[in-house]
Structure formats: structure tokens, C-alpha cells
Chains A and B, each alone.
Chain A
Amino acid sequence: ETGVTQSPTHLIKTRGQQVTLRCSSQSGHNTVSWYQQALGQGPQFIFQYYREEENGRGNFPPRFSGLQFPNYSSELNVNALELDDSALYLCASSLVKALGGGNIQYFGAGTRLSVL
């Protein structure tokens, strides 16, 4: 096990609603990244948080937002849900050092979101 936990495991929402997904990082890690994985596809990078600030964003609209807390846990918030937001949402934590290094991202088991 990676030590990265996500909640809830499954969620069903209706179009237009808002959702919050949670992630608890592996102990000692300071960076959290979120990915969206549609059925049959590879994960797509949403954004990452480093020291409680957004530090890199993929091609996702502003209705996707997040937070990182002092204990390095994180939330992903999605407003005005659309049918295409149905996917597996994966959280990954890593230890990013000041200068380079091949830091490894360790993933949780994901939250499966269905939008009806």
C-alpha cells in the first residue's frame, strides 16, 4: 500500500451539483497532484499543490479547484458538474525537493464519480 487514501470511494451526483473529493497524502510528502481518468483512457493531469499553493495546472476549467492543508492533505472541488466529469479521480503524493530528482508519485485508489 502507498499510504495515500482517498474518500469517498464512489460518488453519484446530478448535473449542476458540486462535489468535494478528499485525499490524505503519504507521510512525509509535501506535494499533491490530482488526475482525472475517463473510462478506457490514461489519467489526465488536473493540477498540483506544493506547500499549500497551486503549482501547475492542466487543461481544466476554473470550476475545478483545490486546496492543500498544512498537514498536506488535499481536496478537489468541482462546481457545476457536467456529464463528462464522470471519471475516476486519482490523487498522488510525492516529496518534491528543492532541486530536481526523480521524485516518484504514489497514487491512491481513486474516487469514482458518476454524474447523472
Chain B
Amino acid sequence: AQKITQTQPGMFVQEKEAVTLDCTYDTSDPSYGLFWYKQPSSGEMIFLIYQGSYDQQNATEGRYSLNFQKARKSANLVISASQLGDSAMYFCAMRADILTGGGNKLTFGTGTQLKVEL
């Protein structure tokens, strides 16, 4: 079974500053993928960034980077130069067994509500 833990129910950051959203995971699968999604109040889940468990380098997508520490089972999201439009709920998610292509189930954490202030 897979489990995602997000311990920060809410975070505040000032505009233009960087913020780190924490995510720890637990799985017995040898291969897995880690994802971050953004959910504005409109409800749509917006894909931000992906990290494979066998990727050698940490993933980056524009202002988003994923700080992947496999030994600690953590996959923290770093947002640089925060913008007002970044205010939303952020979910960390995992999918196991990606190398064999088996299954497509995402296991989500409970989310972190980020508020960007002027």
C-alpha cells in the first residue's frame, strides 16, 4: 500500500519569495512516481511536476522544482518567486510500479493550502 503525508495544512508566503511544501511518502514498491498537483478554488487539478524514483536528477518545471530525497522518502515542492496566482491547494501524489506499466492509480495526500500575500 502507498501512503502520502502532507503535514502542513496551511502555508503563507509573501509575493516574490520562495516557499517549500512538504511531502513524505511510504511504499514497498521498488519503482514509483511522485507528482504535485495544484487545485484552485475552481476545482480542477492542475499537473505541476513529476519525479520518477529512478531519476538521477531532481525535476524542475519553470518556477517549480521537486526536492527528491529517496532515502528520507520525501518529495518536497519548491515554488520560487511566488505570485498571487499561486494561491491554491497543493496535493502531493504517488503512483507505484511505473516501470512495468501496471496500474494508473494515484494516491493523494490531504493537501496544503497556500496563500500568497502582498
Assess whether B45 is interfacial by the CB under 8 Å rule: yes
Q: A33-B104, A96-B104 are in contact. Are A104 and B50 (CB under 8 A)?
A: yes
Structural contact, A33 and B52, CB atoms closer than 8 A: no
The 8 Å CB contact of B104, one of A90, A103, A107, A109, is A103
Structural contact, A43 and B101, CB atoms closer than 8 A: no
Assess whether A58 is interfacial by the CB under 8 Å rule: yes
Q: A42-B91, A100-B99, A100-B100 are in contact. Are A105 and B106 (CB under 8 A)?
A: yes
Give the B interface residue count (CB, 8 A).
27
Q: How distant is A109 from chain B, measured CB to nearest CB, in Å?
A: 4
Assess whether B108 is interfacial by the CB under 8 Å rule: yes
Looking across the interface, which residue of chain B has its beta carbon closest to that of A32?
B104
Structural contact, B103 and A90, CB atoms closer than 8 A: no
Structural contact, A90 and B98, CB atoms closer than 8 A: no
- Distance of A92 Cα from B114 Cα, bound (Å): 23
Looking across the interface, which residue of chain A has its beta carbon closest to that of B37?
A107
Structural contact, B43 and A88, CB atoms closer than 8 A: yes
Structural contact, A56 and B111, CB atoms closer than 8 A: no
Which 9 A-B residue pairings sit nearest by Cβ, starting from the closest? A42-B108, A107-B45, A109-B44, A100-B101, A110-B43, A45-B105, A100-B99, A102-B33, A48-B104
Enumerate chain B interface residues (CB-CB to A < 8 A): 4, 33, 35, 37, 42-47, 50, 52, 91, 93, 98-101, 103-111
